[in-house]
Amino acid sequence: MGRIQRYQMIDNQAIALDLTMTTPGKVMFMAQGGNLRIGYTESDVTSATGNFFTIFDSTQQVFDCGPGSGFLAQNQLLYFLATAGTPILEVWIANQNN
Do 96 and 26 contact (CB within 8 A), yes or no?
no
Burial class of 45 by CB neighbour count within 10 A (0 to 12, 13 to 18, 19+): buried
Question: Predicted confidence band at 98 (pLDDT cuts at 50, 70, 90)?
Answer: low
**What pLDDT score was predicted for residue 70?**
53
Domain assignment of residue 87, yes or no: yes
Average pLDDT score over residue span 32-54: 93
**C-beta separation of 52 from 38 below 8 A:** yes
What does the alpha-carbon distance between residue 28 and residue 60 come to, in Å, rounded to a whole number? 7
Q: 27 near 92, Cβ under 8 Å?
A: yes
Which domain covers residue 33, as residue numbers?
3-52+65-95
Residue 72, domain member (yes or no): yes
In a domain, 22, yes or no: yes
Query: What phi, psi does 41 have (nearest 5°)?
Result: -135, 160
Report yes or no on 57 lying in a domain.
Answer: no
Could you report the per-residue pLDDT of 2-15, keeping only the tens digit for each?
789 999 999 999 99
pLDDT in tens, 47-93: 988 899 999 999 999 988 776 555 555 556 889 999 988 999 999 98
Count of domains observed in the chain: 1
Distance, CA of 12 to CA of 94 (rounded, Å):
28
Q: Is the pLDDT of residue 29 over 70?
A: yes
The mean of the pLDDT values for the chain is 86
Evaluate whether residue 59 is within a structural domain. Answer: no
